[in-house]
Structure 1
């Protein structure tokens, strides 16, 4: 209950906060060096896309196994083991000289990342509920900040001439040390999600099971639509500016910076906004800002307005996934099942959406039009599915 936040809870919250930041930094530590990784293993840009798609399948496997693993071992054990293995995949990627070894590293990274993602969000949600004010948005803000700082540091390390293997092996060692710190503070006993009322007949039991399964489907759709809105803005911003408007690489990068900057700023303010505006009003405002931002960035032929549109989209997107994670973590039933369904929807989007946008853009449309066709309907789907979940 709010107001019963103990010293143990405070220590656990610090540990979870560090893990969110570290998780954002893990991917950012090698993404800026992907061109170098591509050249090192000797594949084309199409080959990189193929490896990432195959690796994404393992992310779905991780989502499917998250609920069972957490039910058996608990969030702390799952986070520590998966977090340590996730850190070590950085070394595998850094040492890769063949496509096969790179695929192994990327696949294991995707699988372990989902387990860490689910476990840390469950602990974060429990701790957020115990405080006098929520913290889920700020925790996700730390993830965004970790991604920004990690990406910047990675670029600087590369510019300084540090070799890829040395860089990622050192990064893996740092992440292992972080896991050691996190493990000492995490909650050691998981909360049990509230269960539906006791059923007195088989018909009531069947109805509960049906509603539970329906909720998991809704969570999958929420994850898919939220990930679609986020990934289309983050992943395609530079292509929109460069390919559609002929902007330089330096200016095109401002699209990514605008989205991530907006997301990071809004996530640190999101918890107070949730208290002040209420959850439902904040969700409506966030979806409206996301839709308006995506529309401006995708359809207005002015590079400065496009950057502004991406910043607005980032401000709107910021609250969507934290809210979805918190909702999923609180679902009754098997621990981790709700978050497993949510992340499965997200990972499916990460597999399907790039292919959809690439296919649409290749059919004589520009990148902006392709993004608008895919992303704008997702704003409607997200709002409808979240409303259904909250009334279920």
Structure 2
């Protein structure tokens, strides 16, 4: 297997890392504004959940054709184009005048985010093969850094009274410019021996549905748990803990800081202890974090719980995507696309949680989270018993 020269490979990793970064900035720029948008448009929790779910619905719709786009344009061009359009779409979000127009803008964001996410991960895995060592968890860590940066900027804008339109338009322009730079850095040869070897090993194997479903389940759980804190963390602080709206963004920021740390050290942890042990420990840690936040709804205990959740779920999505991409018996890009598509279903929980919250309370609705976390443990055990390279052992 021929590897790229170190300098070129590192430059490509920097480019794809920048694409992960700006993708997260686009997402995080709007999250701290959720409370403000809910109040501005006078939405109850159920309706708010439906509006937010428009993004994942758009992502699922795009996932049906993402593999074709990826094969037609290539991973890097697909990632760059999606990233630029995602930045421009922030203008549509800023122009939303009611819940329906906001949902439409979020739907478009979901379409672009899904295409870009699949392309980013495909190119990141190409870079990983070209470097000959694991980097995918670290790239997801860079995504988390982007989420922190975008979340901090948005939270600061809220605290300083900056209009949402000014914040989002400025952020969108910055994303377009950085995406162009990333496109130059992230270029790789059209094909490499590493890609050809991986493709041959993948198609030569026998497809195991039960193994693939277990891998998808881990990614789905990771997305669901991430979305619970991202969407409802700030609202939980306001409605249950009793903080002010200006403090709501701290839930997202604390969570993302922990998620970032977990992902940046995730590759080392997996190399040392193995994916099975890391994911199992993460599932237990995540369940403990949600339990702490739910039984002790004070500011610092809740934030501590969200920190534990961030650390616990850190490697779930990247590990599942890597395993799905290497699943035997599938064409190049299919496993990764299906994994990304199914993972997006985890972001469709806001309507369910919102409906249960309106019928009872948000604390009861969030009991789904620790159950989902513990479900990861048997899924990992299933995949670790499989005699296949696409395992989580």
Please, which runs of 5 or more residues in structure 1 have no aligned partner? 200-204
Distance 1:70 1:221, change over 3 A: same
Q: Does 1:367 align with 2:370?
A: no
Per-residue CA deviations over 1:85-142 (Å, capped at 9, x if unaligned) read: 2222112222344655544422111011011111111221232344364222221121
Partner of 1:142: 142
CA distance in 2, matches of 1:36, 1:252: 10
Q: Is the 8 A contact 2:157 2:167 kept in 1?
A: yes
**Counterpart among 224, 246, 261 of residue 242 in structure 2:** 246
- Cα RMSD (Å): 3.0
* Conservation of the 8 A alpha-carbon contact between 2:199 and 2:332: no
Deviation at 1:262, TM superposition (A): 1.4
Cross-structure match for 2:279: 283
SS of equivalent to 1:194: helix
Q: Distance in 2 between matches of 1:238 and 1:80?
A: 31
Shift of 1:56: 2.7
Aligned twin of 2:6? 6
**What is the CA-CA distance between 1:323 and the residue it aligns to?**
1.5
Mapped contact 1:2–1:131 kept (Cα < 8 A): no
1:12 CA drift (Å) = 0.9
Unmatched 5+ residue regions in structure 2?
A: 389-393
Tell me which residue corresponds to 1:202.
Answer: none
Structure 2 distance, partners of 1:242, 1:161, is 19
Aligned to 2:199: 194
Question: Which of 263, 268, 271 is the matching residue for 2:264?
Answer: 268
Q: Deviations over 1:221-262 (max 9, x none)?
A: 222211122222333333444433434445665433332221
**Alpha-carbon spacing, 1:185–1:255, altered in 2? closer, same or farther (3 Å):** closer
TM-score, normalising length: structure 1: 0.84
Q: By how many angstroms is 1:3 displaced? A: 7.0
Please say if 1:114 is aligned against 2:114: yes
Q: Tell me if structure 2 keeps the 8 A contact 1:220–1:346.
A: yes
Q: TM-score, normalised by structure 2?
A: 0.84
- Aligned twin of 1:176: 176
Using the alignment, how far apart are the partners of 2:293 and 2:333 within structure 1? 36
Aligned position for 1:28? 28
For 1:345, the equivalent position in structure 2 comes to: 342
Q: 1:245 to 1:127 in 2, by over 3 A?
A: same
Structure 1 residue 230 and structure 2 residue 229: aligned? Answer: no
2:391 aligned residue: none
1:36 is displaced (CA, Å) by 5.7
Relative distance call for 1:376 and 1:87 in structure 2 (3 A) is: same
Match of 1:123 in 2: 123
Q: Is 43-52 or 13-22 further displaced after alignment?
A: 43-52
Task: Please state how far the C-alpha of 1:196 moved relative to its aligned partner.
Answer: 5.3
Measured in 1, the distance between the counterparts of 2:357 and 2:293 equals 16
* 8 A Cα contact 1:361 1:370, kept in partner: yes
